[in-house]
Amino acid sequence: MIADEATSALDSISEAHVLDSLYAALPAGTTMLMIAHRLSSLYGCDKVLMVRPLERCAPDVPQVTLLSSLQELYASEPLFREMADSQGFVPR
């Protein structure tokens, strides 16, 4: 399943209800690709793929990073940490 900015127009309470319902409805083992700028949408994800803008990529910095958790991404990626801090996002 692909969810492209599925909750971008929702307030935080509606977002939580939609995501809870979505996760509950998916059969076990289903893979979902969630595209989001609002980082709170990613709390239910078990792997995170971050795509940097090309202008933020130095020769030694890859455009794409895949990490196993939001906490790992927050700890190791300055751009993600900057985005998270600006949104008041705390990885759990």
| pLDDT value of residue 3 | 83
| pLDDT value of residue 86 | 93
Give the residues of the chain that fall short of pLDDT 50: none
Which of these, 85, 84, 80, 72, lies nearest to 53 by C-alpha position?
80
| pLDDT value of residue 85 | 92
Report the predicted TM-score, pTM, of the whole model to 2 decimal places: 0.69
Say if residues 41 and 15 touch (Cβ distance below 8 Å). Answer: yes
Say if residues 39 and 83 touch (Cβ distance below 8 Å). Answer: yes
